[in-house]
Copies of this chain bind each other. A is one copy, B any other.
Amino acid sequence: MKSIGVVTPQSMHFSEPLPLQSGASIADYTLVYETYGVLNADRSNAVLVCHALNASHHVAGVYENADGSLNHGWWDNMVGPGKPLDTDKFFVIGVNNLGSCFGSTGPMHPNPATGKPYGASFPVVTVEDWVHAQARLMTALGIEQLAAVMGGSLGGMQAMAWSTLYPDRLRHCLVIASTPKLTAQNIAFNDVARQAILTDPDYHGGNFYEHGVVPKRGLRVARMVGHITYLSDDDMAEKFGRELRSGAYQFNFGIDFEIESYLRYQGDKFSSYFDANTYLLITKALDYFDPALPFGGDLTKAMAHTQADFLLVSFTTDWRFAPERSREIVQALVNNKRRVSYAEINAPHGHDAFLLEDERYMDVIRSYYGKMWKEIEQTPLHKVAA
């Protein structure tokens, strides 16, 4: 299979303030994005891929690091020439969300009002805010209607929000390993992570940039607890079990079990590159997502004005966003007589399965885009241009 090869991010500045769900607004901002493939003449083959917690606009292809090592896009197995989302056919866009720490305007950037980094004063942004910002970028790129919006986990929430906020601007909505809202347990895990960061003395009320430190301890614990929820119990048992690092108990608080070594390594790595304020913001966006809230909790009503066709995918061992959560979305769409396909993939890897190779999963996505491509060839014109 061919690879996209080396890719280069682009950026676009927006000087019109973005009003936010909180009532605040962002005066001006920059979005960093990448594109793969070629936009066709009638601009009908564009697919927006939305990222989850710790990912970015770097969806596919590779960066060449200064040391010659390669940094692959987080969904490089999904997006590329001949891949399930085939860039020989589709024009794919990845956008880094506002508040993130990979280039788009975020807490580490200067607040134009003060000249100092936003820090904790960066406004709390929601999934819906992100979608409005993405929609502006699509307009700026000349894309009135997307062939599809697609995302996994938090990315799937953005795809859902597109379908309700801009019903006529997407033909298809692909929601993978996602949920219509977080459970109390999901929120609880997020709050543990936030408390670990907020109470790290190096957090300095969010202004740690000025102090030349990073709340690494908090970020590390946050990542460790998050990571547990991304894997299935069985998968952890299979990969690590009770395997001992040194073959025997150490009778101290160093490393006994391989799982400890793995999680601490993941935590250390994460805390070396991820921004603490971004972590807080993104977990809040997760907690707040609840499209049924303005409709008294009625998801069917919330989805009533969607126009897209839907593909939902869930994974049997995902206990973070369990298949039951996807089925709730499917039910709401069926209640509204939307065209909806649903695949529940029997996969051992828990929530993380949406990022991994799985033949059945990849086949489902490939086949869905194959049908979409035929449809685009037959009716290339926009169904509606706003």
Q: Which residues of A contact B (CB under 8 A)?
A: 21-24, 120, 123-124, 181-185, 187-189, 191-192, 194-196, 198-201, 217, 220-221, 224-225, 228, 231, 233, 236-237, 239-242, 249, 251-253, 256-257, 259-260, 263-264, 267, 280, 284, 287-288, 290
How many angstroms from the CA of A21 to the CA of B248 in the assembled complex? 12
Among the listed B21, B184, B233, which residue makes an inter-chain contact with A240, where contact means beta carbons less than 8 Å apart? Answer: B184
Complex interface: chain B residues within 8 A of A198 (CB):
253
Chain B hits for A263, CB < 8 A: 188, 191-192
A239 to B189 CA separation, bound complex (whole angstroms): 16
Contact of A257 among B187, B221, B267 (CB under 8 A): B187
**A and B contact pairs by CB, cutoff 8 A, 26 listed:** A21-B251, A24-B251, A181-B242, A183-B236, A183-B242, A184-B239, A184-B257, A185-B228, A185-B237, A187-B259, A187-B260, A188-B236, A188-B259, A189-B225, A191-B260, A191-B263, A192-B221, A192-B225, A199-B220, A200-B217, A201-B201, A221-B221, A225-B225, A253-B284, A256-B287, A256-B288
Query: Which residues of chain B come closer than 8 Å to A224, judged between CB atoms?
Result: 188, 191-192, 195
Tell me whether A183 and B249 are in contact (CB under 8 A): no
Min CB distance A213 to B, Å, is 12
Counting every copy of the chain, the complex holds: 2
How distant is the Cα of A136 from the Cα of B189 in the complex, in angstroms? 42
Consensus secondary structure, chain A interface: helix
Instruction: Known contacts A195-B264, A224-B192; decide if A187 and B242 are in contact (CB<8 Å).
Output: yes
Q: Which of A21, A123, A225, A240 gathers most chain B CB within 10 Å?
A: A225
